[in-house]
Amino acid sequence: MTKNRLEAFSDGVIAVIITIMVLELKAPEGAGVDALRPLAPAFLTYVLSFVFLGIYWNNHHHMLHATDRINGKVLWANLHLLFWLSLVPFVTGWMGENHFAAVPTAVYGVVLLMAAVAFTILTKLLVAEQGPGSRLAEALGPDTKSKVSLALYACAIPLAFANRWIADALYVSVALIWLVPDPRIESRLKR
């Protein structure tokens, strides 16, 4: 079974998700700078979600690049991941419209956590299919970044009810962990 259509379909779904999110940014009524101000929370949420989807696409790209064989379980694990990613526009819109209120912020974290869990399952199935000592297993290493991300999401969800800004700061931290390719941070995380 070849991976080409899996990549093409995932590219298509992520491309649509990352783009229809912008439909949540509704053109404001007025034509002045003031009309843009109420959009600031929605815009910031859009940027954050765009970065998360970009990280997923990047990681998906790298992981499948190092993959030689797929199987039927991988197809479903991939659809499971795309399911949680497909909810990102919904939670982005809800959190943005409600200016980072507690419940939408926690639900946003639940969707991010479930997407990260789905990605972990997909990784495990792909590594199992390639076999031990494969190029993919070697490229992933201990995969500390993924474990740290899962832990940070799991902390952020209850913290959203205590102080939502802590939860938002944790989401931004996860994004930065993946964005900043500082090798010292990476090696420190790996230890």
For a copy of itself, which is the closer residue by CB, 54 or 155?
A: 54
Distances (CA, A) of 182 to 94, 142, 148, 189: 33, 17, 16, 11
For a copy of itself, which is the closer residue by CB, 11 or 151?
A: 11
- A 10 A CB-CB count for 159 gives 20
The span from the CA of 191 to the CA of 40, in Å, is: 39
CB of 173 to a copy of itself, least distance (A): 18
Q: Which residues bind a copy of itself (CB under 8 A)?
A: 1-2, 5-9, 11-25, 27-28, 31-33, 35-36, 47, 50, 54, 57-58, 61, 65, 72, 75-76, 79, 82-83, 86-87, 89-90, 93-94, 97-98, 101-104, 107, 179, 181
The span from the CA of 135 to the CA of 140, in Å, is: 9
CB of 165 to a copy of itself, least distance (A): 15
CB of 85 to a copy of itself, least distance (A): 9
Closest CA to 116 of 91, 66, 153, 61: 153
- A 10 A CB-CB count for 92 gives 26
CB of 69 to a copy of itself, least distance (A): 13
For a copy of itself, which is the closer residue by CB, 14 or 126?
A: 14
